[in-house]
Amino acid sequence: MNQTDAKSSAGPVVRFREVSKIIGGKTLVDNLTLDVQPGEVFGFLGPNGAGKTTTIRMLVGLISMSTGDIQICGKSITTDFENAIESVGAIVENPELYSYMSGYGNLMQYARMRSNVSKERIDEVVAFVGLTERIQDKVRTYSLGMRQRLGVAQAILHRPKLLILDEPTNGLDPQGIRELRDYLRALAHKEGTAVFVSSHLLTEMELMCDRVAIIQNGKLIEVQKVQGDTGEGTEKTEVEVEFEVGDAAIAVQKLGAGEAKGGHLVIRIEHSDIAKINARLVEAGIPVSGIRVLKRSLEDQFLEVTGGVKS
Ligand SMILES: Nc1ncnc2c1ncn2[C@@H]1O[C@H](COP(=O)(O)OP(=O)(O)OP(=O)(O)O)[C@@H](O)[C@H]1O
Ligand SMILES: [Mg+2]
């Protein structure tokens, strides 16, 4: 049992149940049902206008749902909002910061509105997001990346079970994106926080998240596990190759990967390699009677929903 499984026994942190948002006869979010587990970085991936921000606005209670319900740690945001929102830290669009105050001043201000935030906790989160050196400076002197870090520090100050970030990497440089990714993953995997993060960038989501949901036109298309940045690369297309039973062992050997069962071989390859694999088998004297795509990679699906425009 891995860490995520162990923690999930406590039940999902977020439960979307048939959530829709309709404005002026237009369905912006369409019957969304989804669970987010403790200790996972969950990506909400979709092109511009897919409904990510609308979903997040409903999740934090900034706008109401037209139908359905969302539960946070088992508490309904419709009927038990105060208790549900207690478990949440969020940055929706831009972090809300006072630029005339220091970073520390902002955190102190926020801490006063919450119970149980000690000075030690403030120092801990400042160190966690790497702002110790600049925390006494006025926020107006901060770069975009530093504001983002301060926003995250503020959002996690009260140890929320759920951290929600809407497109947090917007405007960050590659180094900033990497650091954000590292501390979001640490927060999830070491502290068990569920991190719900949206983006329109596939590559970024694949590196940052444990699972990714693809959303388009307000509809959930697919939820997939991804490898994160410690795995051996991105999710691949899974194909089933059919041929004569006796050749299975040879086929596996020729391809160097896969799992042979009777006359079937299931392999995970790049979608673009399907023709090449077929040619290699034929070359090796193994007649292929069929190739069937079992599971498309996240990239294949995302390219399909975005009409082939790569992030
Ligand atoms: N208040 C509103 N009234 C009417 N339509 C709205 C409203 N807010 C959002 N929309 C529409 O809902 C759709 C989803 O918008 P949303 O902001 O949720 O998308 P998004 O996935 O966050 O996109 P982006 O990647 O550009 O941030 C868009 O078509 C948008 O024009
Ligand atoms: Mg948005």
Q: Please report, for the chain, the start and end positions of each structural domain, with discontinuous segments joined by +.
A: 3-225, 234-295
- Indicate the fold that domain 3-225 takes in CATH: Rossmann fold (3.40.50)
CA distance 237 to 228: 17
Q: Which residue has the higher pLDDT, 190 or 255?
A: 190
What pTM did the predictor assign? 0.80
CATH architecture of 234-295: 2-Layer Sandwich (3.30)
Q: How far is CA 187 from CA 59, 138, 195, 216, in A?
A: 20, 26, 8, 28
Is the dihedral angle over the CA atoms 276, 279, 285, 287 positive or is it negative?
positive
215 CA distance to ligand 2 middle (Å)? 12
First to last CA, the chain: 34
Which residues on neighbouring strands pair with residue 260, listed in sequence order?
Answer: 265
CA distance 102 to 216: 40
In this predicted model, what pLDDT tens digit does every residue of 267-279 receive, in sequence order?
Answer: 777 777 778 877 8
Q: Do 109 and 150 touch, CB atoms closer than 8 A?
A: no
Tokens of 119: 């000075």
Q: Could you tell me the maximum CA-CA distance found in the chain, to the nearest angstrom?
A: 75
In this predicted model, what pLDDT tens digit does every residue of 117-176 receive, in sequence order?
Answer: 899 999 999 999 999 999 999 999 999 889 999 999 999 999 999 999 999 988 888 888
CA distance 251 to 3: 36
Is the dihedral angle over the CA atoms 136, 140, 144, 147 positive or is it negative?
positive
**Ligand 1, residues 32, 52, 202: which to mutate, most atoms within 8 A of Cβ?**
52
Ligand nearest to the CA of 165: 2
**For residue 208, what pLDDT is reported?**
92
111 CA distance to ligand 2 middle (Å)? 28
Beta-carbon count within 10 A of 22 CB? 14
55 CA distance to ligand 1 middle (Å)? 9
**Ligand 1, residues 27, 44, 45, 54: which to mutate, most atoms within 8 A of Cβ?**
54
Does residue 23's CB lie within 6 angstroms of at least one atom of ligand 1? yes
In this predicted model, what pLDDT tens digit does every residue of 185-244 receive, in sequence order?
Answer: 999 999 899 999 999 998 889 889 999 999 999 999 989 888 654 444 456 677 777 766
Q: What is the CA radius of gyration of the chain?
A: 23
Domain 3-225 identical in fold to domain 234-295: no
